[in-house]
């Protein structure tokens, strides 16, 4: 259930709001919302649900639910941004073994400001809709979990380079092999790439979404080339 987590975040919002008011926090006018949206998937979307980002995980608080009431009661975007920045810098304390554990300063500097501004601009906004990604339902799961930030996959129209090119590495692999590489990525590292893929997908991607994602990768990886669009 996510309700207790939402309640916990709501209490944190009250505390952070006090800090924001005392410090005179204001929205960062130079924030890059596009960068914030791009960073949200791999940095935050593996744990948090946010409709605009099309993320569905309930490991951490649902950000739309957490801020909808606050927004409806008059909390403005500047204040929400300050609350989010405060939570990134100093998250609620839980055991590191808890799936909802969030390390402090998961993002810093301008990146933290950009993500905070992005969340403040979309979280809990009435009627807001997620973007539509290439690749249908499978492409939606792929992108909403931040996979496109690191991997090339032509079917999803992504060109990330921090991880292996999936059009080159996945063809010929079984569905079980691909699923294992998602839920236990450190079990086999592709040579030349760092071991930076999140270890939380088994918990953060709902089983039905994982099934859709694996089928999408089996069916589509290698069919087209991201380099030439064929």
Domain of residue 15, CATH code: 1.10.760.10
Residues sharing a CB contact under 8 Å with residue 82, sequence separation 6 or more, in sequence order: 16, 17, 19, 20, 23, 25, 26, 116
- Whether 27 and 75 map to the same domain: the answer is yes
CA-to-CA dists, residue 142 to 19, 125, 139, 147, 230, angstroms: 37, 24, 5, 5, 20
State the helix-helix crossing angle for 109-122 and 33-40, rounded to 10 degrees.
90
Q: 187-217 pLDDT, tens per residue? A: 989 999 988 888 888 888 889 999 999 999 9
Residues 118 and 69 in one domain: yes
d(CA 127, CA 218): 34
Lowest mean pLDDT among 19-28, 130-139, 141-150: 19-28
Q: Which pLDDT value is given to residue 198?
A: 82
Q: Is the model's pLDDT at 180 over the cut of 80?
A: yes
Residue 63 CB-half CA count within 13 A: 30
SS (H, E, C) the chain: CCHHHHHHHHHHHHHHHHHHHHHCCCCCCCCCHHHHHHHHHHHHHCCCCEHHHCECCCCCCCHHHHHHHHHHCCCCHHHHHHHHHHHHHCCCCCCCCCCCCCCCCCCCHHHHHHHHHHHHHHCCCCCCCCCCCCCHHHHHHHHHCCHHHCCEEHHHCEECCCCCCHHHHCCCCCHHHHHHHHHCHHHCCCCCCCCCCCCCHHHHCCHHHHHHHHHHHHHHCCCCCCCCCC
Mean pLDDT of the chain: 82
**Same domain for 106 and 16:** yes
CB atoms within 10 A of CB 90: 14
Lowest mean pLDDT among 71-85, 175-189, 190-204: 190-204
Report if residue 127 sits inside a domain.
no
pLDDT at 22: 32
Confidence at 132, pLDDT banded by 50, 70, 90: confident
d(CA 62, CA 180) in angstroms, rounded, equals 27
What per-residue confidence (pLDDT) applies to 225?
Answer: 55
Q: Answer yes or no: do 78 and 151 share one domain.
A: no
In a shared domain, residues 147 and 62: no
Structural domain contains residue 229 = no
Residue range(s) defining the domain that contains residue 152: 136-220
Same domain, 197 and 154: yes
107 is a domain residue: yes
The per-residue pLDDT for 28 is: 56
State how many domains the chain has: 2
Check whether residue 48 and residue 97 sit in a common domain.
yes
First CA to last CA across the chain, in angstroms?
A: 44
């Amino acid at each position: 259930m996510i309700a207790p987590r939402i309640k916990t975040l709501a209490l944190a919002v009250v505390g952070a709001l006090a800090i924001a008011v005392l410090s005179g926090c204001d929205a960062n006018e130079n924030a890059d919302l596009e960068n914030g949206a791009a960073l949200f998937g791999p940095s935050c979307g593996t744990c948090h649900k946010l409709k605009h980002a099309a993320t569905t995980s309930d490991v951490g608080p649902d950000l739309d639910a957490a801020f909808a009431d606050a927004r409806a009661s008059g909390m403005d975007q500047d204040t929400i941004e300050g609350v989010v920045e405060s939570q990134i810098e100093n998250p609620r304390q839980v055991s590191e073994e808890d799936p909802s554990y969030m390390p402090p300063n998961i993002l810093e500097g301008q990146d933290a400001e950009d993500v905070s501004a992005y969340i403040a601009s979309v979280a809990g906004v009435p009627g807001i809709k997620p973007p539509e990604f290439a690749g249908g339902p499978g492409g939606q799961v792929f992108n909403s979990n931040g996979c496109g930030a690191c991997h090339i996959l032509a079917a999803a129209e992504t060109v990330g380079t921090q991880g292996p090119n999936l059009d080159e590495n996945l063809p010929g692999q079984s569905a079980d092999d691909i699923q294992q590489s998602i839920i236990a990525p450190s079990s086999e590292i592709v040579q030349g790439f760092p071991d930076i893929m999140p270890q939380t997908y088994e918990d953060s991607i709902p089983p039905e979404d994982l099934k859709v994602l694996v089928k999408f990768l089996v069916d589509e990886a290698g069919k087209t080339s991201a380099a030439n669009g064929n």
